[in-house]
Amino acid sequence: KHAPKSLVELLSAGRGHGDATLIVYEDERWTFNEFYQKVDSLRSWLVNQKEIKNGDRVAIAMRNYPEWLVAFTASVLSGAITVPLNSWGKADELLHGLGDCEPVVLFCDQQRYDFVASSAKNMTTDLVVARSESIDTSVAVKLDSLLLETDDFPPIAEVESDSTALVLYTSGSTGYPKGVILTHRTMGQCLMNMYYVGALCSQFADPAMEKFSSIAPCNLITVPLFHGTGLWGGFFVPLQMGGKVVLMYKWDAKKALSLIEQEQVTLIGTVPAIVRSLLKDPDFDQYNTETLCRVSMAGSLTPHDLPELIHEKLGYVSRSTGWAMTETCSIGSSMGDRIYDDRPDSAGLVSPIVDLRMVDDEGNVVPDGEEGEIECNGVTMTPGYWRRPDATAEIYHGDWLRTGDVAYLDDEGYLYIVDRIKDMVLRGGENIYCAEVESAIFDHPAVAECTVFGVVDDRLGEEVGAAIYLTPGQSIDAADVREHCAGQLAKFKIPRYIWFTNEALPRNASGKFLKRELRDTLQVSDSH
């Protein structure tokens, strides 16, 4: 009941932190006061010049610049429905998103401007470009010209708790992404749930964590801001609590290590693959990472060797993980500190504001302990997809949200994710969960990254394929991988096709490996 009633209320709460540093980007440092001055100037332009009103859409498509956060906050405080678009996609995906949400304004960077500039004259959307290099001023405006100080401030918008606050587009592994609707009430509940989990876990913190109590909180954001992981925990929490946010143009392990040392980063929240690449960087030991006391992992299954690798490289720190979806506003299950230590291979305990159940292929609820598709119910569930009643109908089973994830609950209420329903290999009638095979391969010390997928087979329908990126300086072959897997997997689950790549495996904007892209581009040959 004490949660913020709207995203407007939530984003207004940081004004009291004054001259404390809020944002660090490259050699730039912005205080809370400087941030809100820019927010208010841009909000003034949106309301007074563009006449933005409740329900209008304002879109954002740019890299993780400080201006992304300014545009986002100004949009919300103006009463608009804010639409963070994927800045990793190609021109057609961006144009699709713009056509789908029909924003009054698009805040973008130079690269995204270049994607849409040729269509600008036929668009009803105004283009505002951050860090512009070359733009046509007849169709676009430089964002920095709108951030100058002004005293012509309209009132902060008033919004209904159950009205739409955000539309977040899913990563769209097949077809164009769909816009997930999230309400103002949902955002406040999401934030309060994070505080609850943090308070709960702190009650079980190891005494070794006490040495970190005097260090100011500092988040290193390693994932895109248009993704819930980056926006909720990476920005909302520090904004409210007076913490510091460190932004990166793109992920680079050595750059991240340098920032951790320089800015005394205390928290990194990201996907397991990025945590692994950080800890396995050849120069890791050359940097001071003593302030890094919290490592939070989400977005994909955590390889079973990663918790121990964190302990080996960082000593005792708070490790945490969880399970959720954009459609649940990133609320599902979670755990940290000693709760995590008790069940490091699980996805944690179910949030008290969410109900979960497992169902079989016919939609029947299965007993606890048995595997089934997760269905969710709770205050943070999306009311549906933007302008897609057909897709909304597909994800709801009565009042329960279908997730597409296979899992089970143990007798103490811990959630165990098995795999995505669509992320299985169907080999001769046997279901093989890719995550199980990936976990076995990850256990080999020479493997830095791997992903498993189905390869079409005339005889069995599908065979197991794996793409592997080795830790620099290591050398193994396919036979070594199969021999290693033989000790952990049934024979039919061992990959028949194995490829070694010379570069890190491609990921989508959420940090997940692009399995379909790899499957479609890698060529099967007898040598594998």
Q: Which residue has better confidence, 218 or 506?
A: 218
Cα 296 to Cα 306: distance, rounded to the nearest angstrom: 12
pLDDT in tens, 98-111: 999 999 999 999 99
> Which contiguous run of DSSP H or E holds residue 500?
strand 497-500
Q: Cα 303 to chain center, whole Å? A: 18
| pLDDT recorded at residue 174 | 47
Mean pLDDT of the region 334-339: 88
pLDDT > 70: percent of the chain:
96
What's the mean pLDDT when you consider all of the chain? 90
Q: Report the DSSP beta bridge partners of residue 144.
A: none
Mean pLDDT of the region 120-132: 93
| Structural contact between residues 153 and 175, judged by C-beta atoms closer than 8 angstroms | no
A 10 A CB-CB count for 170 gives: 17
Say yes or no to pLDDT of 172 above 60: no
> Which contiguous run of DSSP H or E holds residue 202?
helix 184-202
Say yes or no to pLDDT of 259 above 50: yes
286 HSE (CA, 13 A, CB side): 9
| pLDDT recorded at residue 301 | 60
Mean pLDDT of the region 106-128: 93
Cα 524 to Cα 520: distance, rounded to the nearest angstrom: 10
Say yes or no to pLDDT of 528 above 60: no
Quick one: DSSP state of residue 456? Answer: E
**Within 203-271, where are the H helices?**
228-231, 237-241, 253-263
**Within 264-414, where are the H helices?**
272-279, 306-314, 337-342, 389-395
Strands (E), 32-186: 57-61, 81-84, 105-109, 126-130, 140-142, 164-169, 179-183
Mean pLDDT of the region 270-289: 90
| pLDDT recorded at residue 246 | 98
Task: Retrieve residue 374's tokens.
Answer: 């997760």
Mean pLDDT of the region 148-160: 92
Task: Retrieve residue 288's tokens.
Answer: 């001071």
Q: Which residue has better confidence, 345 or 496?
A: 496
Task: Retrieve residue 433's tokens.
Answer: 């969960």
Say yes or no to pLDDT of 494 above 60: yes
Quick one: DSSP state of residue 27? Answer: T
Q: How do strand 267-270 and strand 294-297 relate by DSSP bridges? A: parallel
| Structural contact between residues 215 and 266, judged by C-beta atoms closer than 8 angstroms | yes
Mean pLDDT of the region 390-395: 94
| pLDDT recorded at residue 257 | 98
Say yes or no to pLDDT of 306 above 90: no
Count of residues in the chain: 528
User: Among candidates 366, 438, 448, 453, which has minimal Cα distance to 406?
Assistant: 366
| pLDDT recorded at residue 524 | 44
Tell me the one-letter amino acid at 123: M
Cα 374 to Cα 365: distance, rounded to the nearest angstrom: 10
Hey, CA dihedral for 186, 191, 192, 197, is it positive or negative?
A: positive
Q: What values do phi and psi take at 224, rounded to 5?
A: -65, 145
Q: Model confidence at 527, in pLDDT bands (50, 70, 90)?
A: very low
| pLDDT recorded at residue 175 | 62
Quick one: DSSP state of residue 24? Answer: E
Burial (CB count <10 Å: 0-12, 13-18, 19+), residue 482: middle
| pLDDT recorded at residue 390 | 94
pLDDT in tens, 457-482: 777 778 999 999 999 899 999 999 99
Strands (E), 281-388: 294-297, 318-323, 333-336, 349-350, 354-359, 372-378
